[in-house]
Amino acid sequence: MTSARLARLTPYIYILPAVLVMLAGLMYPILSAVQLSFYDWSMGTEFDTARFVGLDAFVEMLTSGQVWTSMGITVAFVLIAVSAELVLGVALALFLEKPVRGMRFFRTIFVLPMMIAPICVGLIWRYLFDANFGPVNHAVSWLGLSPQAWLADPVLAFTAMVVTDIWQWTPFVIIMVLAGLQGLDESVMEAARIDGANWWQQIVRVKLPILKPILIVTLLARMIDGFRGLEVIYVMTFGGPGLSTELFSLHIFKAAFIGQKLGYSSALSILLLVIVSALSVAILLISNPLKAKARR
């Protein structure tokens, strides 16, 4: 092997151990889930006693109305919550970009919700939306409106779930956008001002196009996290009332640990993986943020 060829291969040799560890950590659970989806197995029993059922779990999954109901609820939740988080996050990041007095305090306050454990977030908002003594109903009564049973009504419970997610994860969008804003080339902004661009035109035609790769990555991260969200909803509503807040990840949890249908829940997990992967690839192919960054 020539020295030039060895020099080209050296970076790949250095990263090979890390790549192998990541592949093992990613592929082993996926392959185990694929294998388990072909069996009828319950926890507390030996896997040797599991019964091979072939594609029965996938057939049951594709013909179950509850599966598609929970998937529809999840898609609606992700679309509404992530869209609101992106809009609020970008707006607040643009506000926090300016050198305003007390900016460190505001940045700390905005970031705090993201630092709280999801279980605690669920408990906090379950208390806030409590129909009997929750502060939300007290605030509603001050406005002259009647108190609501927030977590007992399907529409209001879904709304409470969306509000909770927006409160917790908008700071993530703020951090990502602020990092991009701080990396903007000041000469580009100065050229826009010289050309007569006003404040709104600078945002729409200069800042947002430059921030597009960061916004796409942020969208993907929040979308994936929204599809696999579990802890907050588990504590707040446990999917109720009825199935109005049963996200797909919670449906998988119930199938595995309440229904004791581990093979069926593995098939559901594979479906979720396929859907999220397909959406991620589609977004990347449409936007191609890395190619856009390379052109600039």
pLDDT digits (tens, 9 = 90+) for 183-206: 887 788 888 888 888 888 888 888
d(CA 229, CA 223): 10
d(CA 19, CA 295): 28
Query: Which two tokens mark 72?
Result: 């529809």
Q: Residue 18: which domain range?
A: 1-34
Task: Find tokens 């999801």 and name the residue.
Answer: 118
Average confidence (pLDDT) over 169-191: 86
Q: Are residues 21 and 145 located together in one domain of the fold?
A: no
Q: Are residues 157 and 270 located together in one domain of the fold?
A: yes
Q: Is the pLDDT of residue 264 over 90?
A: yes
Q: Are residues 207 and 269 located together in one domain of the fold?
A: yes
Average confidence (pLDDT) over 220-248: 91
Q: Is the pLDDT of residue 24 over 80?
A: yes
Q: Are residues 265 and 119 located together in one domain of the fold?
A: yes
Q: Are residues 9 and 85 located together in one domain of the fold?
A: no
Please state the separation of Cα 248 from the chain's center in Å.
13
29-34's contacts with Cβ under 8 Å and 24+ in sequence apart are 30/273, 33/266, 33/269, 33/270, 34/266, 34/270
- What mean pLDDT, rounded, does the chain reach? 87
Q: Are residues 128 and 1 located together in one domain of the fold?
A: no
Q: Are residues 81 and 143 located together in one domain of the fold?
A: yes
pLDDT of 288: 67
pLDDT of 159: 95
d(CA 151, CA 236): 8
Q: Are residues 3 and 145 located together in one domain of the fold?
A: no
Task: Tell whether omega for the bond before 241 is within 30 degrees of 0, i.e. cis.
Answer: yes
Count of CB atoms situated within 10 Å of the CB of 287: 17
Task: Find tokens 């970076």 and name the residue.
Answer: 11
Q: Are residues 159 and 262 located together in one domain of the fold?
A: yes
Q: Are residues 110 and 14 located together in one domain of the fold?
A: no
The total of structural domains in the chain comes to 2
CA distances from 52 to 32, 36, 63 (A): 14, 9, 20
pLDDT digits (tens, 9 = 90+) for 68-92: 999 999 999 999 999 999 999 999 8
CATH number of the domain bearing residue 204: 1.10.3720.10
d(CA 93, CA 66): 39
Q: Are residues 9 and 60 located together in one domain of the fold?
A: no
Q: Are residues 115 and 214 located together in one domain of the fold?
A: yes
